[in-house]
Amino acid sequence: MKIIHIIPNLKKGGAERIVIDIIRTLSKKKELVVKLILFEDKIEYDVDDIQQLIEIIPSKVSLSISKKHVLSVTQLQNTFDFFKPDIIHSHLFEAEIVSRSCYFPSANWFSHSHDRMQSLENLGLLNIKTKRDLTNFFEKRYLLKRYRKNGGNHFIAISEDIGQFLKSVLPQDLSNVYLLQNAIDVQRFLKPSYFINAKLDAACQLISIGRLDKNKNHQFLIDVVAELENRNIPILLTIIGEGAERENLESKISLLKLESKIKLLGLIHNIETYLNESNVYVHSALTEGFGLTLIEAMASGLPVITLDGGGNRMLIEQGKNGFLVEDNSTKTFADKIIECTSSNEKYSVYSKYATEFAHQFDINHYIDKLIDIYQKSL
């Protein structure tokens, strides 16, 4: 079986991380021939072991409502024609639009929905209110036409929430939706002391990983640290990630005089090291397709305290591997951190269950399921 995966680049992000693990694990299967196509040479991960499978093909599509579409996909089309893939599997919306602008109906096409694909929303001309609505309307119409021209389409939903969304917005002839929850290389994140009872530090070490943008809602976590500080709870928070909100976060940290309690580390490659040195993973995203970092944290033995972002709610078993805080209250969030860390004995129970829970999301099981989906489609 010949398989092509397509994603715009490999900059830091959850979709990019799972794609690397997919390619890395698929490439170990002798019966498969795998290629990863990027549109730009932007790689922020260590991919030396799969570098020979990566091909940079500059490609771009500019859709126009009133003028002719501009399609720069000749090299990508030539690659399809030469490689003759059985499976073409795209990730993120740019890859969706660009790849579907090519024509290769002898392959089975897959769209990996890492979040709700906004352009697939059900919109009629009468309920279009904004320029974005109008763009979405025409993008959906374009995509549906291209899906059908290429012989149909299959969708991979990373959560039940996204799966239900896709089934509600897709026409019946294109509603081939498979639920396949994200996965990680569990062995990479296991603490060396996994089989030893977990112990708390003098000050509880909180950690959060994610792009510094408004949706990730790190301002909320700063307020949680302030709440714990007011209760005289010894706490330290490490935030790993970079983005447009850095300056606003730094200003708030300074205003609340929490410089000694919160560290913004920027982009880090060896996140497993920082997870292994932490006690509790905290997550504040307003919307979440799945929550890959939550599983990585659990594999490291960290209970998770999170707001309800939608797709991540299936990852929390209340009072076992952490807590889902539904009222968006900093007080409740702080209460749950304290509950997880009130004693070494209680913390050890949370930690052990979190690690065991993460094992069901191991990349090897995931790849077996993915190959099965491919084979069924063929």
Residues 312 and 370 in one domain: no
Q: Are residues 138 and 282 in the same domain?
A: no
SS3 219: helix
Q: Is the pTM of this model over 0.75?
A: yes
Q: What is the pLDDT of residue 370?
A: 97
What is the distance between the alpha carbons of residues 349 and 337, in angstroms, rounded to a whole number? 14
Confidence (pLDDT) at 133: 85
Q: What is the pLDDT of residue 123?
A: 75
339 lies in the same domain as 369: no
Into how many domains does the chain fold?
2
The count of C-alpha atoms lying within 13 angstroms of the C-alpha of 205, restricted to the half-sphere facing its C-beta, is 14
pLDDT of residue 94: 95
Q: Are residues 147 and 26 in the same domain?
A: yes
| Residues 253 and 351 grouped into a single domain | yes
Whether residue 179 is found in the same domain as residue 40: yes
> Which CATH number is 81's domain given?
3.40.50.2000
Determine contact, residues 10/56, Cβ cutoff 8 Å: no
Q: Are residues 69 and 168 in the same domain?
A: yes
In order along its 378 residues, the chain shows pLDDT tens digits of 999 999 999 998 889 999 999 999 999 999 999 999 999 999 999 999 999 999 999 999 999 887 888 999 999 999 999 999 999 999 999 999 999 999 999 999 999 999 888 888 887 767 788 888 888 899 999 999 999 999 999 999 998 889 999 999 999 999 899 999 999 999 989 876 654 456 677 789 999 999 999 999 999 999 999 999 999 999 999 999 999 999 999 999 999 999 999 999 998 888 999 999 999 999 999 998 888 899 999 999 999 999 999 888 889 999 999 999 999 999 999 999 999 998 899 999 999 999 999 999 999 999 999 999 999 998
Q: Is 375 exposed, middle or buried (0-12, 13-18, 19+ CB in 10 A)?
A: exposed
Same domain, 83 and 141: yes
Are residues 87 and 43 both part of a single domain? yes
Q: Is 312 found in the same domain as 173?
A: no
Neighbouring residues of 43: CB distance < 8 A, sequence distance ≥ 6: 9, 10, 11, 54
In this structure, the answer to whether residues 107 and 45 fall within a common structural domain is yes
**Closest Cα to residue 123, out of 135, 112, 114?**
135
C-alpha pair distances (Å), 348 with each of 195, 331, 357, 358: 11, 24, 14, 16
What pLDDT, on the 0 to 100 scale, is given for residue 198? 63
| Cα 155 from Cα 258, distance rounded (Å) | 45
Q: Can you give the pLDDT at residue 111?
A: 97
Instruction: Please tell me whether residues 156 and 296 are part of one structural domain.
Output: no
State which residues form the domain around 255: 186-360
Alpha carbon 315 to chain centroid, angstroms = 13
